[in-house]
């Protein structure tokens, strides 16, 4: 169970100019590859326990990114199909790239009835891009596991002119049952000894939502959902 959440930090008073809390999806680069591989260790458990996404997200992906019936979607790091299955059900034509062989096998099983979806076992950084470009490149809580030096330029290369890169991100924030969060720290500390002791989530307003961007995919409109997931959209400019 990888823990890439922020270090514990004291509450900031209203109006404070303190730096925003580090996002969950900002793993230390020295540990990024190691942590990204832990999901495949028990892919069946991951498939049973990992929650899906709110229905509103798929409306946003259709309205903001163009993930509509018949659109060609490249999904980066599909896991066991948490976003892939609903998008296939909406009529998208999906190529999903998943580095974990066990995760990819379960994703294929979950997509067995979806004729317009394929799962490729490969690392996105080195996977040969097909000749036909995609309308949408989607990364649902997976973009932070991709090499930051290549993830945006490579996504742009995979898109048609005017296509969209949609990045879905999640964040632990205060609220809900605090006792549960305290109890699960034992799991994090057991599987990842580098977890800071006594880690607590920040308030939602303390979390930054910015990311250094490179390549040719400029920022566009974000959308926020009630379960602390944020989707951001980037479009490729017309090619000369």
| 237: pLDDT strictly greater than 90 | no
Q: Is 213 domain-assigned? A: yes
Q: Mind listing the pLDDT tens digit for each residue in 136-171?
A: 999 998 998 899 999 999 999 999 999 999 999 876
Nearest to 101 by CA among 78, 130, 73, 125: 78
Q: What is the CATH number of the domain that holds 144?
A: 3.40.50.150
List, in sequence order, the alpha helices (H) in the chain: 29-36, 43-49, 55-60, 84-89, 101-110, 151-158, 178-191
Q: Which has more pLDDT, 135 or 208?
A: 135
Q: Mind listing the pLDDT tens digit for each residue in 38-50?
A: 888 899 999 999 8
Q: Mind listing the pLDDT tens digit for each residue in 69-107?
A: 999 999 999 999 999 999 999 999 999 999 999 999 999
How many domains would you assign to the chain? 1
| CA distance linking residue 143 with residue 138, whole number of Å | 9
| pLDDT for position 145 | 87
Q: Are the CB atoms for 5 and 169 separated by under 8 Å?
A: no
Q: Are the CB atoms for 93 and 72 separated by under 8 Å?
A: yes
Q: What is the mean pLDDT of residues 179-199?
A: 74
Q: Are the CB atoms for 118 and 95 separated by under 8 Å?
A: yes
**Lowest-pLDDT choice from 12-26, 125-139, 210-224:** 210-224
Three-state DSSP class for residue 236: coil
Q: Is 240 domain-assigned? A: no
Its domain, for residue 224, covers 29-171+207-234
Q: Are the CB atoms for 22 and 6 separated by under 8 Å?
A: yes
């Amino acid at each position: 169970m990888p823990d890439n959440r922020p270090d514990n930090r004291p509450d900031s008073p209203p109006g404070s100019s303190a730096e925003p809390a580090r996002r969950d999806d900002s793993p230390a680069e020295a540990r990024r590859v190691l942590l990204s591989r832990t999901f495949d260790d028990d892919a069946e458990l991951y498939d049973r326990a990992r929650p899906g996404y709110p229905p509103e997200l798929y409306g946003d992906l259709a309205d903001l990114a163009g993930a509509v019936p018949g659109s060609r979607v490249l999904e980066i790091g599909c896991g066991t199909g948490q976003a892939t299955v609903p998008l296939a059900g909406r009529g998208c034509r999906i190529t999903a790239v998943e580095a974990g062989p066990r995760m990819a096998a379960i994703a294929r099983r979950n997509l067995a009835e979806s004729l317009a979806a394929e799962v490729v076992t490969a690392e996105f950084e080195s996977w040969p891009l097909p000749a036909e470009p995609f309308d949408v490149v989607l990364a649902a809580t997976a973009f932070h596991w991709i090499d930051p030096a290549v993830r945006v330029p490579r996504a742009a290369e995979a898109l048609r002119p005017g296509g969209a890169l949609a990045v879905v991100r999640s964040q632990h924030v205060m609220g809900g049952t605090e006792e549960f969060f305290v109890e699960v720290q034992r799991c994090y500390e057991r599987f990842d000894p580098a977890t800071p002791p006594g880690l607590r989530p920040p308030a939602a307003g303390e979390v930054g939502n910015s990311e250094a961007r490179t390549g040719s995919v400029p920022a566009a409109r974000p959308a926020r959902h009630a379960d602390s997931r944020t989707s951001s959209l980037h479009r490729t400019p017309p090619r000369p």
